[in-house]
Amino acid sequence: MVQAPAIQLHGVTKRYPGVVANKDVELTVETAEVHAVVGENGAGKSTLMKIIYGMVRPDAGDITIDGKPAHFRTPKDAIDAGIGMVHQHFMLADNFTVLENVVLGSEPRSGLEIDFRGATERIRQLGETYGLRLDPHQKVETLSVGERQRVEIIKVLYRGAKILILDEPTAVLVPQEVTELFESIRDLKEQGHTIVFISHKLDEVLSIADRITVMRDGRTVGTTTPAEVDARQLAEMMIGSELPSPHTKEATVQDVVLLEVSDLSLMSDTGRPLLQGISFVVHKGEIVGIAGVEGNGQAQLVDSIIGLAPGATGEIALSGTSITELSTRDRRSAGIGLIPEDRHRQGLLLSAPLWENAALGHQNKEPYAKGLWIDKKGARAQTEEIVRRFDVMTPNVDVPATALSGGNQQKLVVGREIMANPMVLIAAQPTRGIDIGAQAAVWEELKSARAAGMGILLISADLEELIGLSDAIHVLFEGRLVAKLDPAQITPEILGSHMTGAGEEKAS
């Protein structure tokens, strides 16, 4: 008898007010296969996974799990049916140990006590079987990102999941960690587990998946296998047209130094060094990339340059004039622009209208202000200009920023910073979480700003983007710049090994 598919979806549709997140989705995942679901951001992957995991109920369509119809109301129902989900953003208690995190919510009891010994044993066992090595008694806060992910995987296995949904599991990993994750995934498959792998990194998908389902605009556009397609064809299925590329090769770098950072250091409140002796320059017409695994000081570096880190020591000069003593506002007025890494946290006033968002960071100068007053007319006109030039999809400039999709919000942020024409633009994760179309638009704007003589400091987790756009790349590791690389000479793999600190050891 043929085994029923692990997951089968038929005609699944989910509408949100004004948008259809999923429409007539067809998906068949066989038991013990690695099935990738790919698509741009906003293509409906997350909604689909939330439906399978019981977090969202579909408006129409049938779901069967292992041949049985499923009507999940909560994730608990999905877990009971043997489905586990590893979220992109880890949901772990930092000050708990691995063991405590794993058992949290499903504590094994023997009598009134929690059976920690039994649980420890099981975690060890799971770890050995699937190559997910972990010390059960280590605190999560001391773990690397890759190790934390292992905790999440063990957590769902511990709850008896046979079907694992991994949501963008490689987004936060360096290449070496990705390799380890893939080994574990292969082990899991061999033991009969079914893996649903969500990603938009196509090379990875092609190397790990047995079959691939492509989503676009909320629909499933087709299912294929790695043998049938290459990355390019897959990407074209995803976006339905040709691919953009970050590459920029005509040199525009001039001799004039715009930003000079010398011996910048910063301590945490507890005295731990966050940045140590950072020195670099950005020339006119140059894009300087900062590579590094997240959490190695990128956020602190940006804060120090823009003036949000009061304890920073060292010198920062803009076009030969020291700005070390200036406030954030004065630094901005002196000619530093900022595309913050997290637009929701530092870049937008979500409930405020677009024109007020466009003014953010420039509210003290024309065209947004006249003397002591906000110039609403000027601000709206400028916002309309940004919307037009940067192709922000919005009905008008009076809707709140929250009404826009992530990509359009980002285009607005990028637009307002570039239109303000700063001497130096700090672009932190400028294309994070936006679709390929918007990504290409942002790249184009950064390139033309560079050609016009802007100095750009690019901080990105997207190695292709860094290598493609930058004129020089510095590697930030544990708060220090450990290597300066020529983008023309390196591959993402080489860059990745520098990011883990391995490159430095080899050099010394």
Partner 1 sequence: MKSGKLLTSVVAPLIAIIIAFGLAALALLLVDINPITAYKEMFVFGTSTESLIITVNNALPLFVSALAVGIGFKMGLFNIGIEGTYLIAALFAAYIGAQFSITPVLHVTAILLVAVAVGAFWAWIPAMLKVKRGVHEVIATIMLNYIAFALSAYLFLNVFKAESSSLTIATDLIPETGWIPSLNPVLGWFGIEARAGANLYGFLIIAIFLGIGYHYLVNKSRYGYDLRSSGVNAAAAHASGVDPKRMIVRTMLISGGLAGLVGIAPLLGFYHQYPQDFPRNFGFNGIAVALLGRNHPVGMAFGALLFGFMQRSSLILDLKDVPKEIVTIIQGIVVLAVVIVYEVISRYVQRRVVAAAARATEAEHATVEVAA
Q: Does 372 bind partner 1 (CB under 8 A)?
A: yes
Residue number with CB closer to partner 1 (167 or 356): 356
Comparison of 369 and 472: residue with beta carbon closer to partner 1: 369
Residues 489 and 507: their CA atoms lie apart, in Å, by 16
Residue 47: CB atoms within 10 Å: 23
223-227: long-range contacts, CB 8 A cutoff, minimum separation 24:
223/27, 223/28
In terms of CB distance, is 100 or 356 closer to partner 1?
356
Least distance in angstroms from the C-beta of 321 to partner 1: 18
* CB count in 10 Å sphere of residue 424: 23
Are the C-beta atoms of 329 and 369 separated by less than 8 Å? no
Q: Is 77 or 384 the residue whose CB approaches partner 1 more closely? A: 384
The pair of structure tokens assigned to 418 is 């570039």
Q: How many CB atoms lie within 10 A of CB 436?
A: 18
Nearest distance in Å: CB 206, partner 1 = 30
Name which of 402 and 448 has its Cβ closer to partner 1: 402
281 or 403: whose CB is closer to partner 1? 403
Asked if 306 touches partner 1 (CB under 8 A), the answer is: yes
> In 3D, which of 453, 467, 471 has the Cα closest to residue 496?
467
Q: Are 362 and 415 in contact (CB under 8 A)?
A: no
Backbone dihedral region of 253: left (phi > 0), alpha (psi from -120 to 50 degrees) or beta? beta
Peptide bond into 395 cis (omega under 30): no
User: What residues contact residue 270 under an 8 Å CB cut-off, 6+ apart?
Assistant: none
Residue window 74-113: x/- pattern of binding to partner 1, with contact defined by CB under 8 A: ----------------------------------------
Helix or strand holding residue 204 (H, E): helix 202-208
Cβ–Cβ under 8 Å, residues 114 and 107: yes
Count the residues of the shown chain that bind partner 1, applying the rule CB under 8 A.
Answer: 46
Binder of partner 1 out of 175, 340, 367, 468 (CB under 8 A)? 340
- Establish if 441 lies at the interface with partner 1 (CB under 8 A): no
CA distance 461 to 449: 21
Determine, following the binding rule CB under 8 A, whether residue 350 of this chain makes contact with partner 1: yes
Taking the complex as a whole, the smallest distance from the CB of residue 393 to partner 1 amounts, in Å, to 4
- 308 is a contact residue toward partner 1 (CB under 8 A): yes
Among 255, 345, 489, 507, indicate the residue that binds partner 1 (CB under 8 A).
345
Interface residue with partner 1 among 221, 253, 281, 352 (CB under 8 A) is 352
Strands 336-339 and 424-428: parallel
Q: Report the nearest approach of partner 1 to the CB of residue 410 (Å).
A: 14
Q: Which of 9, 275, 301, 360 binds partner 1 (CB under 8 A)?
A: 360
Q: If you count them, how many residues does the chain have?
A: 508
**Residue 18 interacting with partner 1 (CB under 8 A):** yes
Amino acid at 261: V
Contact status: 349 vs partner 1 (CB under 8 A): yes
Query: Which of 191, 207, 327, 448 contacts partner 1 by CB under 8 A?
Result: 327
Contact 438, 352 (CB under 8 A): no
**Residues from 390 through 419 that contact partner 1 (CB under 8 A):** 393-395, 398-400, 402-405, 408
Q: In 10 A of CB 276, how many CB atoms?
A: 16
Kindly state whether residue 41 participates in binding partner 1, applying the rule CB under 8 A: no
Among 351, 488, 507, 508, binds partner 1 (CB under 8 A): 351
Q: Is 373 in the site for partner 1 (CB under 8 A)?
A: yes
Residues that bind partner 1 (CB under 8 A): 16-19, 306, 308, 327-333, 338, 340, 345-352, 356, 359-364, 369, 372-374, 376, 393-395, 398-400, 402-405, 408
